[in-house]
Structure 1
Amino acid sequence: DLAQLIYDLKNVNPEADVSVKLVSEVGVGTVAAGVAKARADHITIAGFDGGTGASPLTSLKHAGSPWEIGLAETQQTLVLNGLRSRIALQVDGGLKTGRDVVIGALLGADEFGFATAPLIAVGCVMMRRCHLNTCTVGVATQDPVLRKRFTGTPEHVVNYFFFVAEEVREILASLGARRLDDIIGASDLLDRDGMIEHWKARGLDFSNIFRKVEAAKEATYWTERQNHPIDDILDRRLIEKAKLALETKVPVAFEAAIKNVDRSAGAMLSGALAKRWGHKGLKDDTIHVTLKGTAGQSFGAFLARGITFDLVGDGNDYVGKGLSGGRIIVRPPENARIVPHQSIIVGNTVLYGAISGECYFNGVAGERFAVRNSGAIAVVEGVGDHGCEYMTGGVVVVLGGTGRNFAAGMSGGVAYVLDEEGDFARRCNMAMVELQPVPEEDDMLEKLHHHGGDLMHKGMVDVSGD
């Protein structure tokens, strides 16, 4: 799933670096190796000692381990597996001085994240009220009265980092190094005797933190870019065929074949459209693509307004992930010998995080349909377990059966469910929704139009037995 998400994001914006943040803990090196193999461009190892003022005290005190432990394990694991040179490794979590930077570099970090210290440089006094809008020094508040108390300037932060950089230069000079790259991963330069001999360290073994892994051919720091397999994909051809619409807004329509190896179809096309025309996109149906075959993962991911994907075939998981105004139609071929309302046509986690747009599925969807949907409209002929989970807006019409735990965590939007068996109430999670029957004289199309763009404050599931 993470590899697919990284692939989705790289498609929608090929110029952007994809970063994955990992908590410093035992075993984080193995996870980091998997993230590197999943082709992330950047990994951040986050230590336990940082954290925003909005973090719960239990998280600040009891979550994660020191960044030194997680960073050392990650560096050693990546080098051992020949993965270190192709990924940028960052560390954060309470870094304050140039000495911290140099220690981070010696343990393997290419980059360093600072947050708390620069905030203090501009006036933060650590009241830990960031989430309450009551920051007494005007840093983290929208209250105009409190904001007048803010006395920080950009020069305060610049001056702080000048001194950090100067301290780094002084320590590098004392080590006989000219560049930071020269000491990345050189853990043998760390002075450990004083710590090991200290009475507080008796009985503790820190040898693995200081261990330096010898790389056969690999560099011990970031030297090359990840190889993302996005040069020859379906979207490149779709963009070429839609070039007229992307540049001049003239409507175009065309057909294309699609196979299950064509993942994230539509993501790069949507990125190209958004880069030119922004989130507003184009008029509906400006780019109409009829696709035939079986779509791979994340079909129609982040599909932008103005694009219509009409898939004659079926789709895998994550259809319409992050849907952003586009229209998706999935239907079986006319000569298919299946019964649509009894057959799966799209996989699990369809419409995950959709914000706007429309989806029409001539068949049944898998589990977790419309999870975190916040504004899209969808029509489907049946869903599996956990439908409309965490939904906050939009409209879902289920013209068939549902699995268990429907509407769990649903805090907004409307779902219409055809309850022919009369047992939907038993399968619906009633913790945050209320059930209402649909009156016979009610015009469902009018309700769809009325509710479609609204963000409801409470989830509502309409049930029809007709």
Structure 2
Amino acid sequence: PFDNGLLNAQLLQQAKPFVDERQSKTFWFDIRNTDRSVGASLSGYIAQTHGDQGLAADPIKAYFNGTAGQSFGVWNAGGVELYLTGDANDYVGKGMAGGLIAIRPPVGSAFRSHEASIIGNTCLYGATGGRLYAAGRAGERFGVRNSGAITVVEGIGDNGCEYMTGGIVCILGKTGVNFGAGMTGGFAYVLDESGDFRKRVNPELVEVLSVDDLAIHEEHLRGLITEHVQHTGSQRGEEILANWSTFATKFALVKPKSSDVKALLGHRSRSAAELRVQAQ
């Protein structure tokens, strides 16, 4: 059916008075796969009224239940937090600039989250900021041209992090082939349980290191997974954290060959002990 953008418009209509007054507010909606670009108009209005990150301290929170159509959370602005119980189609978080998108399967789902897709293809395309947590697998071309978003997902298809120039991607499951092709910035943490991830990487511009050899990155990674669990209730994340000494040795760090590993986190002086406190 043709999408008239009713849910997208409804979200803006209900949130607008609170945006004008810089007041945080929470909303609840059901969502269907014909509801496309939900959140786009709200983000546009916030950016127009207060700037891209104008409501980051007083967020509008919207909880959805169901299956989201394409481009859920597109151009997400700072101050927009979208929580979805269900799943979503392609282009989740496309061009997102700030805020938060968290997606989890329904309580009591029989499948293991890292073995089932929860979001579609080309998610986080061209994102410049914000955070995306998805307790399940993403499709192909995940994080293509990402230049600033931070994300945790539980598996991806082919061509992940292609042409990525910034941001942080954490993958708690299997990846497809041609990972990191044309990647010139940012970095990725990838769980390599089967030991064959290096065969799936495009080695032209990136190199693969072991997180186990990088104490600061190990603590940073644990902090990201902790946030993932907090926002999605991920059983996969809980399993990894509960068996950290075992899983930590299986994570790879993928970075551009031109990047200094000591500068990736932007805080050369920060110790592993400091990051460990944040992760707890």
5 Å matches for 1:198-347?
Answer: 230=4, 233-284=6-57, 286-347=59-120
Change (3 A) 1:357 1:336: same
Q: Distance in 1 between matches of 2:69 and 2:168?
A: 25
- Find the partner of 1:446 among 186, 195, 220: 220
Letter in 1 for 2:14: K
Superimposed CA distance per residue, residues 307-333 of structure 1 (whole angstroms, 9 cap, x where no aligned partner): 000010000000100011121011101
Deviation of 1:336 (Å):
2.1
Given that 1:329 and 1:361 are in contact with CA atoms closer than 8 Å, whether structure 2 keeps it comes out as yes
Shift in CA distance, 363/353, structure 1 to aligned 2, threshold 3 Å? same
What is the count of residue pairs matched by the alignment?
Answer: 230
CA distance in 2, matches of 1:420, 1:459: 26
Aligned residues with identical type, % of pairs: 49
Q: 1: CA distance between counterparts of 2:162 and 2:222?
A: 20
Larger relative contact order (CA 8 Å, sep ≥ 6)? 2
Secondary structure, aligned partner of 1:324? coil
Distance 1:421 1:229, change over 3 A: closer
Give the letter for the 1:390 counterpart: Y
2:18/2:24 contact within 8 Å kept: yes
Tell me, yes or no, if structure 1 residue 419 matches structure 2 residue 196: no
Separation in 2, partners of 1:349, 1:283: 26
What is residue 351 of structure 1 aligned with on the other side? 124
Q: Which residue of 2 aligns with 1:67?
A: none
Question: Distance between the aligned counterparts of 1:383 and 1:332, measured in 2?
Answer: 16
Deviation, 1:338, is 2.0
Alpha-carbon distance in 2 for matches of 1:460, 1:408: 19
Runs (5+) with no aligned partner, structure 1:
1-227
Q: Deviations over 1:129-166 (max 9, x none)?
A: xxxxxxxxxxxxxxxxxxxxxxxxxxxxxxxxxxxxxx
Q: What secondary structure is seen at the aligned counterpart in 2 of 1:356? A: coil
C-alpha distance 457-301 of structure 1, shift in aligned 2 (>3 A): farther
Match of 2:233 in 1: none
Q: Which residue of 1 aligns with 2:146?
A: 373
Structure 1 CA distance, aligned partners of 2:18 and 2:257? 38
Deviations 1:97-146 (A, max 9, x none): xxxxxxxxxxxxxxxxxxxxxxxxxxxxxxxxxxxxxxxxxxxxxxxxxx
Q: Moved runs in structure 1, 4+ residues, more than 3 A?
A: 440-450, 455-462
Q: How much has 1:281 moved relative to structure 2?
A: 2.2
Task: Judge conservation of contact 1:414–1:460 (CA < 8 Å) in 2.
Answer: no
| Alignment-mate amino acid for residue 264 of structure 1 | S
Instruction: Identify which of 374, 382, 401 aligns with 2:174.
Output: 401
Task: Indicate if the aligned counterparts of 2:134 and 2:152 stay in contact, CA closer than 8 A.
Answer: yes
Q: What is the TM-score when the length of structure 2 is the normalising length?
A: 0.76
The Cα shift of 1:443 comes to 5.0
Instruction: Report the alpha carbon displacement of residue 456 of structure 1 after superposing the two structures with TM.
Output: 7.8
Of Structure 1 and Structure 2, the greater strand share is in 2
The question of whether the paired residues in 2 share the 8 Å contact of 1:433 and 1:459 is answered with no
Equivalent-residue separation in structure 2 for 1:368 and 1:246 (angstroms): 34
Q: What SS class does the counterpart of residue 238 from structure 1 fall into?
A: helix
1:447/1:342 CA distance change after superposition, 3 Å = closer
- CA-based RMSD: 2.5
Matched residue of 2:130: which SS?
strand
Q: Note the C-alpha offset of 1:439.
A: 2.2
SS in 1 for 2:198: helix
CA drift of 1:459 comes to: 6.1
For the pair 1:384 / 2:147, whether they are aligned, the reply is: no
Deviation for aligned residue 1:286: 1.0
Under a length normalisation based on structure 1, what TM-score does the superposition of the two structures give?
0.47
Distance 1:267 1:333 in 2: 24
Deviation at residue 245 of structure 1 after TM alignment: 2.5
Distance 1:460 1:381 in 2: 27
When Rg is computed on C-alpha atoms for both structures, the one with the higher figure is: 1
Indicate yes or no: 2:210 matched with 1:437: yes
Give per-residue Cα distances to partners, 1:224-282, cap 9 Å, x unaligned.
xxxx965x511221112212331111110111111011001111111111111122321
Query: How far apart, CA to CA, are the structure 2 residues paired with 1:456 and 1:283?
Result: 31
In the alignment, structure 2 segments of 5+ residues that lack a partner are: 225-254, 265-280
Assess if the C-alpha contact under 8 Å between 2:98 and 2:129 holds in 1. yes
Matched letter for residue 370 of structure 1? G
2-structure distance, mates of 1:349, 1:256:
25
* Counterpart-to-counterpart distance in 1, 2:20 and 2:34: 29
Kept in 1, the 8 Å contact 2:205–2:257? The answer is no
